[in-house]
A and B are shown apart, each in its own frame.
Chain A
Amino acid sequence: MSKKRKIGNFFTYVVLIIISVIWLFPFVGLVLQSFRSYVTEFGGMVGYLVPKKFSLDSYIYLFSGECKFIRWYLNTLIIALCVTAGQTVVVVCVSYALSRMRFAGRSFLMRTWLILGMFPGFLTMICLYFLLKLLGLTQAGAVPGLILIGIASSGMGYYVCKGYFDTIPKSLDEAARIDGATRAQILISMIVPLSKPIIIYTALVAFMAPWCDYVFASYVAFGHSNSYNVAVSLQNWVWTNDYQGFFTRFCAGGILVAIPVTILFMCLQKYYVEGVTGGAVKG
Chain B
Amino acid sequence: MGNFQKNITAAKETAKQFAGGLRDLGESIAKGSWKTKVSILIFGFAHILRKQFLRGFAFLAGEAALIWVIFGFGWKYISKFGTLGTSSGGYNPDGTISYGDNSFFILLYGILVLIAFVALLILWSMNLRDSYKCEKRLAEGRSLLGNKDDWHSLFDRNFAQTLLTVPVIGIFIFTVLPILFMICIAFTNYDKDHTPPAALFTWVGFENFRKIFDFGSAGLGSTFFKVLGWTLCWAFFATFLNYFLGMGVAILINRNGIKFKKLWRTILVMTIAVPQIVSLLYIGKLFAADGLINLFLMDHGFIDRAIPFWTNANYARVLIILINLWVGIPYMMLIATGLLMNIPADLYESARIDGANSFQMFRKITLPYMLFVTGPFLLTSFTGNLNNFNVIYLLNKGQPKSMSLSDGAGATDLLVTWLYTVTVTNNDYKIAAVIGIMVFIVTAVISLAVYGMLPSVKDEEGFQ
- A and B contact pairs by CB, cutoff 8 A, 28 listed: A12-B258, A19-B267, A23-B330, A26-B282, A26-B283, A27-B270, A30-B279, A45-B295, A47-B292, A47-B294, A48-B296, A97-B159, A97-B160, A116-B171, A119-B440, A122-B416, A123-B439, A127-B177, A151-B170, A152-B171, A214-B394, A215-B420, A257-B275, A258-B278, A261-B273, A262-B270, A265-B269, A269-B273
Measured between C-beta atoms, what is the minimum distance from A162 to chain B in Å? 12
* Residues of B that sit less than 8 Å from A by CB: 10, 14, 104, 108, 152, 155-164, 166-168, 170-171, 173-179, 181-182, 249, 252-253, 255, 257-258, 264, 266-279, 281-286, 288, 290-292, 294-299, 326, 330-331, 334-335, 338-339, 373-377, 379-380, 383, 387, 389-390, 393-394, 415-416, 419-420, 423-424, 429, 432-433, 436, 439-440, 443-444, 447
Question: Which residues on the A side are within 8 Å of B252 (C-beta)?
Answer: 12, 15-16
Residue-by-residue, is A215-255 near B (CB-CB < 8 Å gives 1, otherwise 0)? 10001000000000011001100100000000100110011
Contact A45-B278, Cβ < 8 Å, known A107-B10, A122-B416? no
Question: Which residues on the B side are within 8 Å of A280 (C-beta)?
Answer: 335, 374, 376-377
Question: Which residues on the B side are within 8 Å of A15 (C-beta)?
Answer: 252
Measured between C-beta atoms, what is the minimum distance from B382 to chain A in Å? 12
- The answer to whether A282 touches B376 (Cβ under 8 A) is yes
Contact of A212 among B163, B277, B373 (CB under 8 A): B277
Contact A113-B171, Cβ < 8 Å, known A238-B285, A283-B375? yes
Interface of A is mostly: helix
Residue-by-residue, is A99-131 near B (CB-CB < 8 Å gives 1, otherwise 0)? 001010011110101011011111111111011
Q: How many Å lie between the Cα of A269 and that of B267 in the bound state?
A: 12
Q: A13 an interface residue at 8 Å Cβ cutoff?
A: yes
- The answer to whether B164 touches A93 (Cβ under 8 A) is yes
Closest 4 CB pairs of A and B: A283-B376, A47-B295, A155-B167, A123-B436
Q: How many Å lie between the Cα of A183 and that of B159 in the bound state?
A: 7
- Number of A-B residue pairs at CB separation under 8 A: 267
Q: A20 an interface residue at 8 Å Cβ cutoff?
A: yes
Question: Which residues on the A side are within 8 Å of B157 (C-beta)?
Answer: 183
Residue-by-residue, is A144-167 near B (CB-CB < 8 Å gives 1, otherwise 0)? 000011011111100000000000
Q: A64 an interface residue at 8 Å Cβ cutoff?
A: no
Question: Which residues on the B side are within 8 Å of A118 (C-beta)?
Answer: 383, 440, 443-444, 447
Q: How many Å lie between the Cα of A9 and that of B264 in the bound state?
A: 14
- The answer to whether B389 touches A122 (Cβ under 8 A) is yes
Q: How many Å lie between the Cα of A208 and that of B221 in the bound state?
A: 38
Q: Interface residue tally of chain A, by bracket?
A: 35 or more
Q: A60 an interface residue at 8 Å Cβ cutoff?
A: no
Contact A23-B326, Cβ < 8 Å, known A29-B282, A130-B104? yes
Question: Which residues on the A side are within 8 Å of B273 (C-beta)?
Answer: 261-262, 265-266, 269
Query: From B14, which residue of chain A is reached at the shortest CB distance?
Result: A108
Query: From A149, which residue of chain B is reached at the shortest CB distance?
Result: B174
Q: A184 an interface residue at 8 Å Cβ cutoff?
A: yes
- The answer to whether B444 touches A152 (Cβ under 8 A) is no
Query: From A219, which residue of chain B is reached at the shortest CB distance?
Result: B424
Query: From B433, which residue of chain A is reached at the shortest CB distance?
Result: A123
- The answer to whether A49 touches B292 (Cβ under 8 A) is yes
- The answer to whether B339 touches A131 (Cβ under 8 A) is no
- The answer to whether B171 touches A22 (Cβ under 8 A) is no
Question: Which residues on the B side are within 8 Å of A175 (C-beta)?
Answer: none
Question: Which residues on the A side are within 8 Å of B286 (C-beta)?
Answer: 26, 29
Contact of B419 among A93, A120, A151, A282 (CB under 8 A): A120
Q: A273 an interface residue at 8 Å Cβ cutoff?
A: yes
Measured between C-beta atoms, what is the minimum distance from B463 to chain A in Å? 11
